[in-house]
Amino acid sequence: MRLKKPKRPNETVLEDLTLSDADHELIAAANAVLERYYKPFWHTVAAALRSRDGRIWTGIHIGATVGRLAICAEAVAYGRAVLEGDATIETAVAVRHPKPEETDRELAVVSPCGACREMIMDHAPDARIILKDGDALLKLPIRSLLVLPYRR
């Protein structure tokens, strides 16, 4: 639980940051994409976004020989939400595949990179992000992950 911005002075609103069944469905959607499309180096991360209307949009990371040209899974998923949906992000999650040399072979929730934090903040400043803290999963506002976003 975390304090939310009060609607009126002296009002305290608690926001539940624990994961809902819908959040677990979002993680499962990202895992399903990665299980199906994982390709070492080229497709190693998947993302799933839930729009405000409840629809889920998935994306896969696109690796590139020139590393800075790689495209994050969140951006691919958001592009689908723009073209096919309502262009909103209520909650987002990314999962990564273990590297070939890692002994833990489980897919794992990962934090969005700095660029994706900026992208999500630009388009959905009220979005929530599912993260992993040790063995625990939690959901935090994108604003808390990017306190001072880049501005031109």
Contact between residue 90 and residue 123 where contact means Cβ atoms under 8 Å apart: no
Nearest to Zn ion of 18, 144 (CB atom):
144
Beta-strand (E) ranges in the chain?
2-4, 13-15, 45-50, 56-60, 91-96, 108-110, 128-133, 136-141
Contact between residue 128 and residue 139 where contact means Cβ atoms under 8 Å apart: yes
Q: For Zn ion, which stretch binds (CB under 5 A), given 30-38, 72-80, 96-104, 123-131?
A: 72-80
Cβ 98 to Zn ion shortest distance, Å: 18
Nearest to Zn ion of 45, 56 (CB atom):
45
Distance CA 43, CA 40 (A): 6
Query: Is 74 in the active site?
Result: yes
The pair of three-digit structure tokens given for residue 80, joined into one six-digit string: 């689908």
Q: Does 72 bind Zn ion (CB under 5 A)?
A: yes
Q: Does 116 bind Zn ion (CB under 5 A)?
A: yes
Nearest to Zn ion of 4, 110 (CB atom):
110
Find all residues with CB under 8 Å of 22, minimum gap 6, and list them: 50, 54, 91
Q: Which residue shows structure tokens 């608690």?
A: 14
Nearest to Zn ion of 4, 71 (CB atom):
71
Cβ 21 to Zn ion shortest distance, Å: 26
CA proximity to 117, closest of 135, 88, 92? 92
Q: Does 113 bind Zn ion (CB under 5 A)?
A: yes
Q: Which of 74, 101, 102, 106 is the catalytic position? A: 74
Cβ 14 to Zn ion shortest distance, Å: 30
Cβ 107 to Zn ion shortest distance, Å: 17
Question: Which helix (H) or strand (E) covers residue 4, if one does?
Answer: strand 2-4
Q: Which residues bind Zn ion (CB under 5 A)?
A: 72, 113, 116
Catalytic residues: 74
